[in-house]
Structure 1
Amino acid sequence: MNLTDIALSRYSTKAFDPDRKIPDEALTQIKSLLRYSPSSVNSQPWHFIIAGSDAGKQRIAKGTQGPFQANEAKVLNASHVVLFCAKTEIDDDYLDHLLATEDADGRFPEPSVKEMTKGVRSVFVNLHRHELNDAPQWMEKQVYLNMGSLLLGVAALGIDAVPLEGIDIAALNEEFGLQEKGYTAVAAVSLGYRSTDDFNAKLPKSRLPEDEIFTLV
Structure 2
Amino acid sequence: MSFDPAALSAQRYTTKVYDPSRQIPEAQLQQLLTVLRNSPSSVNSQPWHFFVIGSEAGKKTIEPALTELNRPRAGNASHVVVFTVRTDFTDAHLVRLLEQESRDGRFVNEDARKAQDAGRRFFVEYNRQRDLLGWESRQAYIALGTLLFGAASLGIDATPIEGFDRAALDAALGLEQKGLTSVVLAALGYRSADDFNAPLPKSRLPQEEVVTFL
TM-score, structure 1 normalization:
0.95
Percent identity over the alignment is: 47
| AA aligned opposite 1:75 | A
Deviation at 1:167, TM superposition (A): 1.0
Q: Which residue matches 2:169?
A: 172
Indicate the SS of the match to 1:106. coil
Q: Which residue matches 1:150?
A: 147
Distance 1:4 1:97 in 2: 37
Distance 1:173 1:123 in 2: 29
Unaligned runs of 5+ in 1: none
Indicate the SS of the match to 2:46. coil
Distance 1:106 1:209 in 2: 44
| AA aligned opposite 2:88 | E
- After superposition, where does 1:59-208 map in structure 2 within 5 Å? 59-64=61-66, 68-130=67-129, 133-208=130-205
Indicate the SS of the match to 2:205. coil
Runs of 4+ with deviation above 4 angstroms: none
C-alpha deviations, 1:36-60, integer Å up to 9, x for none? 1000000000011101111111112
Shifted more, 204-213 versus 52-61: the winner is: 52-61
Deviation at 1:109, TM superposition (A): 2.5
Distance 1:33 1:107 in 2: 20
TM-score, structure 2 normalization:
0.96
Distance 1:95 1:163 in 2: 29
Unaligned runs of 5+ in 2: none
Distance 1:147 1:16 in 2: 19
Q: Which residue matches 1:29?
A: 31
Deviation at 1:93, TM superposition (A): 2.4
Distance 2:93 2:36 in 1: 19
Distance 2:121 2:187 in 1: 35
Indicate the SS of the match to 2:184. strand
Question: Size of the alignment, in residue pairs?
Answer: 212
Deviation at 1:122, TM superposition (A): 1.6
Distance 2:15 2:113 in 1: 44
